[in-house]
Amino acid sequence: MVTLKDIAREANVSVMTVSNVVNGKLGKVSAQKAEMIRSILKKHKYVQNETARSLAKANSNIVAIMLRNIHDENPLSSAHNATLLGAMIHRLQLLGYYAMISLVETQEDISRNLRSWNAQGALFLGMFDREIEQIYALSNIPLVFIDSYSNVRQLSSVGIDDYKGGCLAAQYLLAKGHRSIAFISPPDYENGVIQHRLRGFSDTLEQCGLHLPPEHRLILESDVDQRSVRQTVEALASLRRDVTAAFVTSDQIAASLIGGLSNLNIRVPQDLSIVGFDNMLISTQISPQLTTVEQDLNQKAALAVDILQHRLQNPGVPAESRVLDVRMVERSTVRTIDR
């Protein structure tokens, strides 16, 4: 590995001068020397040793991205997480940062990943409410939380209007004449996302004098585990007499359920209407195409990175929380009930 020192020796200048050229501090080097040094740099394909640079500057250009690991399930088998992660990495790179990814479970995982490479900042996906406060105690680099609800003041976060998402789904189904509707989701995991969608959903029902009985609230342990999908499908099938529709909090789960229902000869939307959430690619791949609540993942990813960068560039700016809008996308999984 060729170092600044090697280059300096060959160029007959000091290490400092080479360093200035590498870092583009051209005011400090004569144009002629700079050119000469640049050509030697190129000749040897010099690549800066970020490890040493980071140690000397206490500035690494690393951004840690931490994904909450739940039940040891691959968090990237969720299309939502994967798309978001890809978009964040892409944008970080454009801005000159390195992305170090870790799947975290314990405070210790977080602490280690936050501090060992002196990351400049960190992006968190799906952390639990109660963990967030503790994370702040670990480090004082800028932190941005995605899809987390928390009471911590001065939290930088990006999320979507989950409450409104629940409202939209309920309003839409009510407008189509549905009066008895199931709510299906993974466990809440204490990050508040599900809870807010549920609240928006049931508040809207209640405004119409309806309510969501506990037996219409179905919980799916895992959206990738076949067995738990099957159980939920069966529970849903046995609810069929009571319920004309279901709001499912992700397209991925909705697609699995629709597949399972079709095996039991329960047709969507004729026998049961379904509204999903996310508007991922899969909502147009299944048949009938899924009516769903849309969120913009690319925007969520970009905004998270931009907020982080803004705080990195302007130390001391106050925390910033952004809530992105959602909207209904009407397709073919909800039927109109005539009265």
Partner DNA sequence: CTGAAAGCGCTTACAG
Binding site for DNA (CB under 7 A): 1, 3-5, 13-17, 19-20, 22-23, 27-30, 33, 48-49, 52-53, 55-58
Q: Exposed (0-12), middle (13-18) or buried (19+): which is 322, by Cβ within 10 Å?
A: middle
Using CB under 8 A as the binding rule, whether residue 99 contacts a copy of itself is answered as yes
Smaller CB distance to DNA: residue 30 or 226? 30
Binding span for a copy of itself by CB under 8 A among 90-98, 186-194, 238-246, 322-330 = 90-98
User: What's the CA gap between 310 and 34, in Å, rounded?
Assistant: 32
Q: Which does 98 bind (CB under 5 to 8 A by kind): a copy of itself, DNA, none?
A: a copy of itself
User: What's the CA gap between 243 and 178, in Å, rounded?
Assistant: 9
Using CB under 8 A as the binding rule, whether residue 106 contacts a copy of itself is answered as no
The binding track of 265-284 with respect to a copy of itself, each residue x by CB under 8 A or -, is ----------------xx-x
> Measured from the CB of residue 119, what is the shortest distance to DNA in angstroms?
14
> Measured from the CB of residue 140, what is the shortest distance to DNA in angstroms?
15
The binding track of 122-141 with respect to a copy of itself, each residue x by CB under 8 A or -, is --------------------
For residue 324, CA distances in Å to 33, 155, 247, 251, 310 come to: 51, 16, 20, 18, 18
Residues 156-185, interacting with a copy of itself (CB under 8 A) = none
Member of 5, 28, 115, 130 binding a copy of itself (CB under 8 A): 115
User: What's the CA gap between 261 and 271, in Å, rounded?
Assistant: 10
Smaller CB distance to DNA: residue 13 or 274? 13
Smaller CB distance to a copy of itself: residue 185 or 252? 252
CA gyration radius for the chain? 26
Using CB under 8 A as the binding rule, whether residue 102 contacts a copy of itself is answered as yes
Q: Exposed (0-12), middle (13-18) or buried (19+): which is 339, by Cβ within 10 Å?
A: exposed
Burial 291-317 (b: 16+ CB within 10 A, else e): bbbbbebeebbbbbbbbbbebbeeeee
Smaller CB distance to a copy of itself: residue 76 or 174? 76
Beta bridge partners of 291: 275
Residues 235-264, interacting with a copy of itself (CB under 8 A) = 252, 255-256, 258-259, 262
Residue pair 280/252 in contact by the 8 Å Cβ criterion: yes
User: What's the CA gap between 58 and 118, in Å, rounded?
Assistant: 7
For the residues of 128-194, what is the DSSP string, one character each?
Answer: -HHHHHHHHHH--S-EEEES-----TT--EEEE-HHHHHHHHHHHHHHTT--SEEEEES--TTSSHH
> Measured from the CB of residue 181, what is the shortest distance to DNA in angstroms?
56
Beta bridge partners of 246: 182, 274
Member of 12, 14, 207, 287 binding a copy of itself (CB under 8 A): 287
User: What's the CA gap between 72 and 86, in Å, rounded?
Assistant: 21
- Which residues of this protein are in contact with a copy of itself, per CB under 8 A? 1, 45, 47-52, 54-55, 60, 74-77, 79, 82-83, 85-87, 89-90, 93, 98-103, 111-113, 115-118, 224, 226, 252, 255-256, 258-259, 262, 281-282, 284-287, 289
